[in-house]
Amino acid sequence: MSVRDVFEPGRTAVITGSADGIGLAAARRFATMGLNVVMADLGGDRLWQAANEVRQIAREAAVEAVPVDVADPAQMIRLRERAFERFGDTAILMNNAGIGGGGHAFERPDRWTALLSVNLGGVINGVQAFTQAMIDKNRPAVIINTGSKQGITTPPGDTAYNVSKAAIKTLTEGLQHSLREMPGCRVSAHLLIPGFTFTGMTRRRFAEKPPGAWTAEQVVAFMLERIDVGDFYILCPDNDTPRALDEVRMAWSAADILENRPPLSRWHPDYRDAFAAFVARKI
């Protein structure tokens, strides 16, 4: 399948979480490429302002703002109906909306529920609502789910967030397998794994872009490059973390099981030196 036909002027992108950050950067980029954009986010001024901003730069393309809570399956079905009724198409579905602030394993069950219903529930709802309709359209199309390195190396801190992102990885791998096995299917799935990115989520902690962070625009540019060459895992570096370092960290994490080490040994004082030596050996 050529993804070039996906990112064609006149086709349509549906992006959740597009009032800010990576989703907004994607909306801007797709609009300048001449794609129609359906911007889905929690309603309110932020969404209208973001959509107006994208409309200013859209050339021929139409920009539609749709207030949606991705945690609600019925609202995601209505989002699909809206996209197909207005544009007859969804070439790109970005299940991207996400929040942080869950907590460790045995605190704040209310936050766990809220976080999982948005981060994981939102992606499940998007996949359930759109996939069959995109397949039935019989045109090349992509589903891009936003995961995180925290769903792969699962650092201590926000365990609820890690669980949601690990589950998105598993869900997207299973989805891509099913699509690949389906004769004649012209839809593919991709896992976007941003590095440290300066967005609404990170602006809560840093007033200015930290030197180590990428911009949301860099993430979107990298995503397009990697989809173009057919990557499933779109593993973004940032200014602090080259791909080689990510690879070493991931290899160490996976080897916790193989080596029968304690979980999260990378952050275990007894393994600090061994991890440092491992990194030094590999890079």
Question: Which sequence positions are flagged as catalytic?
Answer: 161
Q: How many residues does the chain have?
A: 283
Kindly tell me which residue out of 51, 83, 97, 152 binds ligand NAI, with binding defined by CB under 6 A. Answer: 97
> Counting contacts by CB under 6 A, is residue 121 touching ligand NAI?
no
CB atoms within 10 A of CB 126: 26
How many CA atoms are closer than 13 Å to the CA of 59, on its beta-carbon side? Answer: 8
> For 148-151, which contacts have Cβ atoms below 8 Å and span 24 or more sequence positions?
148/193, 148/194, 149/193, 149/195, 149/235, 149/246, 149/249, 151/193
Pick the stretch among 128-136, 197-205, 227-235, 251-259 that binds ligand NAI (CB under 6 A): 197-205
Site string for ligand NAI, 50-69 (x = CB under 6 A): ------------------xx
CA distance 15 to 30: 10
Kindly tell me which residue out of 113, 202, 239, 241 binds ligand NAI, with binding defined by CB under 6 A. Answer: 202
Cβ-based nearer residue to ligand NAI, 131 or 148: 148
User: Which residues, numbered 213-272, are part of the site for ligand NAI (CB under 6 A)?
Assistant: none
Ramachandran sector of residue 142 (left: φ over 0; alpha: ψ -120 to 50; beta: rest): beta
Q: Give CA torsion, residues 164, 214, 7, 140, to 10 deg.
A: -30
Kindly tell me which residue out of 36, 199, 218, 253 binds ligand NAI, with binding defined by CB under 6 A. Answer: 199
> Counting contacts by CB under 6 A, is residue 159 touching ligand NAI?
no
Cβ-based nearer residue to ligand NAI, 58 or 144: 144
> Counting contacts by CB under 6 A, is residue 26 touching ligand NAI?
no
CA distance 87 to 23: 20
Residue numbers at the binding site for ligand NAI (CB under 6 A): 16-17, 19-23, 41-42, 68-71, 96-99, 118, 146, 148, 194, 196-197, 199-202
